[in-house]
Structure 1
Amino acid sequence: MARQAGAAAQARAPLSGQRILDTAVALADEGGVEALSMRRIAQSLGVVPMALYKHVANKNELLDGMIDVLVGEIDPPVADTDWKRAVRLRVLSARRMLLRHPWAPAVIESRTKARATPTPAVMEYLDSMIGILRAGGFSVDLVHHAMHVMGSRLLGFSQELFEDAPDREPDPEALPPEEMAARYPHITELAMAVTHDEESVVGSGCDDQFEFEFALDLILDGLERLKGTA
C-alpha cells in the first residue's frame, strides 16, 4: 500500500529537469548508460517521450546534466585542515561517487572531449579545487602544473596507458604466449606478478583503489615538496 502511494505521488509530481536527470542516473546504474534512451526514461516517469524535450534538448544535454548530478554527490571541501588533506579527501569522495556509478568515467571522458568547456558543475568543482591550492600557498604557475599532473584524478579516476576491453575481439595477429614472453620478458614478468582488487576498479585498466591512492599520494607529496621550494 505504501509503495503504491509513493508511486502515485511520483506520478502526480510535476515533471522537471531534475526528476528527468535523477531518473536517467538511476536507469544507467541499473542497466548501463548504453541502454539509456528517452523512451525508457519517459516510461519510468509515466510520461510520453516528447514531454522530456521541454526540459532536455537531446541525449548529449541529458548526459551533461547527469554528469552534473554525479559531481553534486562529491563531498564539499573539509574546513579547518591543510590543503593536502582537503584535496585528498575530496578526490577520494569523487572516487566513491564513481564506484557507485561505474558507467560515469566513460561518459565524463567522452563528454569532456566533445565539449569546448566542462559542464557547469565540473567547472565549479575544479574552481573550488584550484581555490584550495591557492589558499594553501600555491603560486598560480604551480597550480597550473598541479592541475595538469592531477588530470582526471581530480574526478576520481585515472586514464590508463593500456585499457582493458572485455568485449574486444581477439587480435588475430597476436603472438602466442610463449613467444610473447620471449620477446617481451619484462612486460610478461610484470603482467604475471600484478594483481588487482576487482571490487575497487574504476573504469578499465589497472585503476584499482590501491593504485589510485598510490599515485595520488605520490603527486600530493611531490607538490608539497615543490611548494616548499617556490
Structure 2
Amino acid sequence: MVEIATQAGAVARARVPLNRTRVLSAAVALADEGGVDALSMRRIAQALGVVPMALYKHVANKNELLDGMIDVLVGEIDPPVEGIGWKAAVRRRVLSARRMLLRHPWAPEVIEARMKTRAAPTPALLEYLDSMIGIFRAGGFPIDLVHHALHVMGSRLLGFSQELFVDNDSGRPADTDTDADSLEPAEMAARFPHLAELAMAVAHDPESVVGSGCDDQFEFEFALDLTLDGLARLLNAS
C-alpha cells in the first residue's frame, strides 16, 4: 500500500506542469534539508516526480541552477520601505537578508562562490544591489561615497560577512552564459541605473583585488579609518 501511495504521489506531482520556478523551489528545499553539496539533478527530479532530463529544459547546468537558487533567495528579502530615512531603510533590508540566510545556511558559500566566478551578479542580485545604491543616493550620498560604503559593508548587504567584491584566481570570470552578463550597456543602464552610475564614476585600477575599478589601498584605509572613528565615537559616548 505504501508503494502504491508513493507511486500515486509521484504521478500527481508529474501532472503539475514543470517550470523553472518549481525546479528552483525544489532545489532550494533539498539544499535546506541536506546542504548544497548533496544537491543533484537526480534528487531534484525525484522530488518533482520527473526524469532528470526534464530538468534541463529549465536549467541548462549546475551553475545555472545555483544562480537561479540565489535569485529565489534574494526574492525573499523584504522590499525597501519608503519614508524612513536611508539608515533605517538599509538596516531593515540587511537584517531581512540575514533572516533569509539563517533560513538557508548553505547560501553564503554559494553566493560568495558564484560572485567570484561570474562576470556579473545574478539578475535578482543586481536588482537588489541597484536598489540599495538607490537608497544611499536618495539619502544624499555622493556616488563616490556610495562606492566606498559598498566595500565597507561588503557582504553584510546580504546578511553575512565575507568580501564579495573580488576577482577569481585567473582575474577573469569563469562563466558568462547568463542573462545579466549578456545585456547591452544601454539595457543595463535602463534596468539598473544606480549600478550604471556607479560603474561610470569609479576610478580604474585593473590590478585591484577588491574589484575592478577599485583602489585597494584607499578602500582598506577608508574602512580602517571609518571603523576607528566609530569606535572613538562609542568610547566618547560611554
For residues 42 and 148 of structure 2, the distance between their equivalents in structure 1, rounded to whole angstroms, comes to 44
Q: Quick one: which of 55, 78, 88 aligns to 1:75?
A: 78
Could you tell me which residue of structure 2 aligns to residue 44 of structure 1? 47
Q: Does the 8 Å CA contact 2:79/2:93 hold for their aligned counterparts? A: yes
Q: Which amino acid aligns with 2:132?
A: M
Could you tell me which residue of structure 1 aligns to residue 65 of structure 2? 62
Stretches of structure 1 that go unaligned for 5 or more consecutive residues are: 161-217, 226-230
Residues 17 and 137 of structure 1, relative CA distance in 2, 3 Å threshold: same
1:25 deviates by 0.1
Deviant stretches of 4+, over 4 Å: 3-9
Could you tell me which residue of structure 2 aligns to residue 20 of structure 1? 23
Instruction: Tell me: higher relative CO, structure 1 or 2? Use CA pairs within 8 A at least 6 residues apart.
Output: 1
Question: Normalising by the residue count of structure 2, what TM-score does the alignment of the two structures yield?
Answer: 0.64
For residues 100 and 142 of structure 1, the distance between their equivalents in structure 2, rounded to whole angstroms, comes to 32
Q: Quick one: which of 89, 92, 110 aligns to 2:92?
A: 89
For residues 105 and 59 of structure 1, the distance between their equivalents in structure 2, rounded to whole angstroms, comes to 17
Q: Which amino acid aligns with 1:69?
A: V
Residues 126 and 65 of structure 1, relative CA distance in 2, 3 Å threshold: same
For residues 147 and 114 of structure 2, the distance between their equivalents in structure 1, rounded to whole angstroms, comes to 22
Matched, 1:125 2:128: yes
Matched, 1:53 2:44: no
1:80 deviates by 1.5
Q: Does the 8 Å CA contact 2:112/2:162 hold for their aligned counterparts? A: no
Residues 51 and 70 of structure 1, relative CA distance in 2, 3 Å threshold: same
Q: Does the 8 Å CA contact 2:94/2:159 hold for their aligned counterparts? A: yes
Number of aligned positions between the proteins: 164
Question: Normalising by the residue count of structure 1, what TM-score does the alignment of the two structures yield?
Answer: 0.67
1:8 deviates by 6.0
Could you tell me which residue of structure 1 aligns to residue 218 of structure 2? none
Across the aligned residues of Structure 1 and Structure 2, the Cα RMSD in angstroms comes to 2.4
Stretches of structure 2 that go unaligned for 5 or more consecutive residues are: 164-225, 234-238
Q: 1:109-167, CA deviations, whole angstroms, 9 ceiling, x for partnerless residues? A: 0011010100000000000000000000000111111111111000000028xxxxxxx
Matched, 1:107 2:110: yes
